[in-house]
Structure 1
Amino acid sequence: MVERSCAELIAEATAAPVDGWGFDWLDGRATEERPPWGYARQVADRMATVAAALDIDTGGGEVLAEVPQPPPLLLATEAWPPNVAVARRTLRRVGGRVVQVAPRSRLPFRDAGFDLVTSRHPVDTDWAEIARVLRPGGRYLSQQIGAGTMRELSEAVLGPLPPPATRHTAQAVAAARTAGLDVVRLERATLRAVFHDVGAVVWFLRKVVWTVPDFDVDRYRPQLERLHARIRAEGAFVARSRRFLIEAVRPAPGDVGSA
């Protein structure tokens, strides 16, 4: 098999679409361990028991599309226009409706309108808004990106970085409690991510933009060429993704909080 050059791999990855929040393009080129708690299954189980649910930062709607028993009212929000179109097509088959929102805006829904709010890898978590739209007794379930995720990849491109200042679980728990929610579950996982060619790295950085916030192929071509040489020499580039699962409840009147 003829090995492809660094330039060919980069060009292919640069031309590939990154709409939605699926990662099928990486099949055979990169792998990432899954968290042990099974987020999609957790969401499906809860969706089957509620009347009204909201998914925040739905991406392309990939998680909700797999829910076998959606609630009568299923809404989702998304801020990135290319994802909005994808999510609307994806969620049509489960009766979900996608509302386009501005980044970091208030949720355009009435108070206490949902039994369940979910979010997989939210850009930001507005705990006060989540508490506002939850009904008393309602739950928020979210799989979030942990502090220092994919740091090895970030530093391979950007060089040494200071310790991460955000996305720590203690910060999430404190913010949830400040908003009046009781945190009833918190789990953490560190997961192995393996990139088998530099094209997979480029595509990932284009899609997961917070890994290298100013990523541009031309700006970082020397670093990408070094990564290409390293992958050829070592067989793969290994990084660590960090995730946590958090579940919080809006107390009903008279409840004794668990915070």
Structure 2
Amino acid sequence: VEQTANITGKLLPSVLYPDSYIHFNYNPSVAEIEFNRIPITVESMPAGNNISEVRVYIPPDSLVISAKATSYSANKWTANVSVSNIAGVTTAYLLSEYGKSFVPLGDPFTVDIPGSLFVSGVNNTVTTITGVNPKNLTGGSVDNRLIYTMLLTGSVDYDRVFKRADGCRWRLDFEDGSNQTFNAPPLYNGSKSCYYINGGYDSGDAVDDAVYRLLSRLDVDGDGLVDVTIRGDQLAIEAFAIPNVPSLWGPGIVEVRVWAR
């Protein structure tokens, strides 16, 4: 039996007043945002296949805190949603747990998925299955998507020793089509220009290298467009140079002593 709507009997009109509302208490299972973490919500591309598999790559050092799968089930029911990665296959939603017959059950348009089911640094595949009963299951819609929120790390580790730490005037291009320019460090007054979109920066400058690696963390899909839109008054990058750092390149003085009998 597929989903159908039949209206019988005499319908009684009702009124929805402007101040009408439904009140309920809900405690979401969402991790608290930590210091040095930047939240970003990403919407995947449509599944594009009748199996209704959506594959997303979760960058290293990032943490998914919430996710939901959209399901265009049409005249069927959303029966199963699972997440697969290197940790295995985990069922996030199983309609048959609520009843053997789907007819009296609701059919969600979105299914919440715990963020803990996603693994960072690898591909994660979300599969949505529809059906009319537990024994008659099919794939989902080609238009199904995954909407998820993750925390990106807002810092980078120390790198190698550099000869220079001057800085640059940067231009950022964002996913929404806007752009922004800023100086790093703020007091930089040189003539050098850097562009994140094409990797145009001075790789021999400590400040430029750190800024580029930091921006790479905010570019989830690696297309050269920063996913986190930052305005001029929201961005300040400070640079502190540490001089006289020992390194393994010369010049050096080597003394050899030979003892003879």
TM-score w.r.t. the length of structure 1 is: 0.25
Q: Between Structure 1 and Structure 2, which shows a larger proportion of strand residues?
A: 2
Q: Between Structure 1 and Structure 2, which shows a larger proportion of helix residues?
A: 1
Structure having greater relative contact order (Cα 8 Å, sep ≥ 6): 1
Rg larger for: 2
TM-score w.r.t. the length of structure 2 is: 0.25
